[in-house]
Amino acid sequence: MSAGSVSPTATPTPAAARFVPKRPDMLRILLATTFIVIAAEAIGPVTVPIGPGGVTLQPLVWALIAGALYGVCGLVSPGNMTLSVQAQVTAAKLLQPVLLLFITRLGLLVGGSIPKVLQAGWALVFQEFGHFLGTMVFGLPLALLLGIKREAIGATFSIGREPSLAIIGERFGMNSPEGRGVLAEYLTGAIFGAIFIALFAGLLTDTGWFSPYALAMGSGVGSGSMMAAASGAIVARMPPSMADDIAVFAAASNLITTTIGTYFTVLISLPCTIWAYRVLEPLLGRRAARRTSKVRDADVVHDDGRQLSFLWVLVCWIFIGCLALIGNRIGHGAAVTASTMLGMAIIVAISAAGLGLYRLAGGRIPAVLWCSIVAMLVTMPGSPGAATVAAMTAPINFLSLVTPILALAGLSVAKDIPAFRRLGWRIVIVSFCANAGTFLGATLIAQLLMHKPA
């Protein structure tokens, strides 16, 4: 396969051989994930003063970092208490189906929020094209000029939040170049994203080129922490009387990006980025080949393409669900009750239904879309039992699901350190450019379509 080609989906057909994890590896992974999540939620959010406000680092960041450090221990000093490379591959395989729980939780929000989305207006809908194409327009050419190959697809088709991990994980596999690219984007965004976007939003606000309402809409990049950082920087530079309006527009934009953003990413952003890579890589990438190092095949831990059986997937879902409820209690004060346990069971059941539909359809439509659609239909206004399902799942903060998921992501990342080392500072620069692109792209479109509120 040439450097400029894109591999087909790494997800096997339902008839393909299934992966059976080793029990010692599974035990270490589950124990490590449990300890990391409890510790991360106990630490809680930590606010770092930056400029006029501050940047809040959520428990999910601590879980990601702790998982990565524990994985590194297995490479530096292998032993019975550490994770081998094969165990880290297993963690990556667990990560892909577990992400469906998050997609389902997000889909439950979509159904109940449909009236709000319809009230937001066409301007908010159209500016989403800026969010989901701006990353590619601004980030991909730079990535290719810096000599990054297929990792550029994962790093620039979106800002690399949780749904993007699920989409790339299903389409290519997390052990693919695209998977390493989106995970590198996630790592960079999780650690530096809020700080960077706050500084960038403040800089654009100070220029006076854009309406504060357009800037507010640009703040809704699909990440709560990044939205808060960007909108806070805008508010700090505006009269106090405008603060509420800016917050409303930022929240409305972020709602749309978070809810229907999965569909934009799957149907528009990723296909456009793949196409643009095929066109631009021969022109830009090969000019940079002599000036930059490539990720060598020896640096890559290859995936055999096998996926977990449905039984193992169900075991992982139940484990992550229980761990999320514990984290929800520690981090958000929500008691573990029969109602919340039933709510988590509903999330698992919808995920199972989505995965089942995906396999019945022969893998032609991504499982993330099936799970999202089923969840959305369950909580749509007028659906039987919609209010009951919404009430049972509402206490389960979606960040409580993200923390164990990112702990798994951290446990799987150490095996790719040689590949990340070769990407080095370049992936950080590309990530900053992609984040700037999504903010600026949406702001430009909003500036053209948005009118000052009455």
Q: What is the pLDDT of residues 416-426, one digit of tens each?
A: 676 666 667 78
Buried b (16+ CB within 10 A) or exposed e, 204-227: bbeeeebbbbbbbbbbbbbbbbbb
Quickly state the pLDDT bin for 1 (edges 50, 70, 90): very low
Q: Indicate the burial class of 362 (C-beta count within 10 angstroms; 0-12, 13-18, 19 or more).
A: exposed
Rounded to the nearest integer, the mean pLDDT of the chain is: 76
CA angle 88, 91, 95 (to 5 degrees): 145
pLDDT at 123: 63
The answer to whether residue 1 is domain-embedded is no
The answer to whether residue 8 is domain-embedded is no
Query: Pick the residue with more confidence: 75 or 263?
Result: 263
pLDDT at 352: 92
- Single pTM value for the model: 0.69
pLDDT at 190 over 90: no
Please state, in angstroms and rounded to a whole number, the distance separating the CA atoms of residues 297 and 182. 19
Average confidence (pLDDT) over 123-136:
73
Closest CA to 393 of 376, 405, 369: 376
Quickly state the pLDDT bin for 347 (edges 50, 70, 90): very high
pLDDT at 286 over 70: no
Domain of residue 107 covers 18-449
The answer to whether residue 78 is domain-embedded is yes
Task: Give me the residue label for tokens 């599974």.
Answer: 26
Query: Pick the residue with more confidence: 333 or 354?
Result: 354
Average confidence (pLDDT) over 74-78:
68
Lowest mean pLDDT among 10-14, 182-186, 261-265, 322-326: 10-14
3-class SS shares of the chain: helix, strand, coil, % to 5 = 75, 5, 25
Query: Pick the residue with more confidence: 427 or 123?
Result: 427
Considering the chain, what percentage of its residues have pLDDT values greater than 70?
Answer: 77
What residue type is 444 in one-letter code?
L
Quickly state the pLDDT bin for 294 (edges 50, 70, 90): low
The answer to whether residue 340 is domain-embedded is yes
Most trustworthy range by pLDDT among 11-25, 193-207, 431-445: 431-445
Angstrom distances, CA of residue 393 to CA of 43, 104, 386: 25, 11, 11
Average confidence (pLDDT) over 286-294:
51
pLDDT at 369 over 80: no
Q: Residue 444 in 3-state DSSP?
A: helix
The answer to whether residue 136 is domain-embedded is yes
Average confidence (pLDDT) over 85-95:
82
pLDDT at 387 over 60: yes
Q: Residue 415 in 3-state DSSP?
A: helix
Most trustworthy range by pLDDT among 255-269, 285-299, 436-450: 436-450
Q: Indicate the burial class of 421 (C-beta count within 10 angstroms; 0-12, 13-18, 19 or more).
A: exposed
The answer to whether residue 206 is domain-embedded is yes
Number of domain units in the chain: 1
pLDDT at 349: 94
pLDDT at 322: 92
Instruction: List, as one string, the DSSP characters of 183-249.
Output: HHHHHHIIIIIHHHHHHHHHHHHHHT-S-HHHHHHHT-SS-HHHHHHHHHHHHHTS-GGGHHHHHHH
The answer to whether residue 454 is domain-embedded is no
Q: Indicate the burial class of 435 (C-beta count within 10 angstroms; 0-12, 13-18, 19 or more).
A: buried
The answer to whether residue 4 is domain-embedded is no
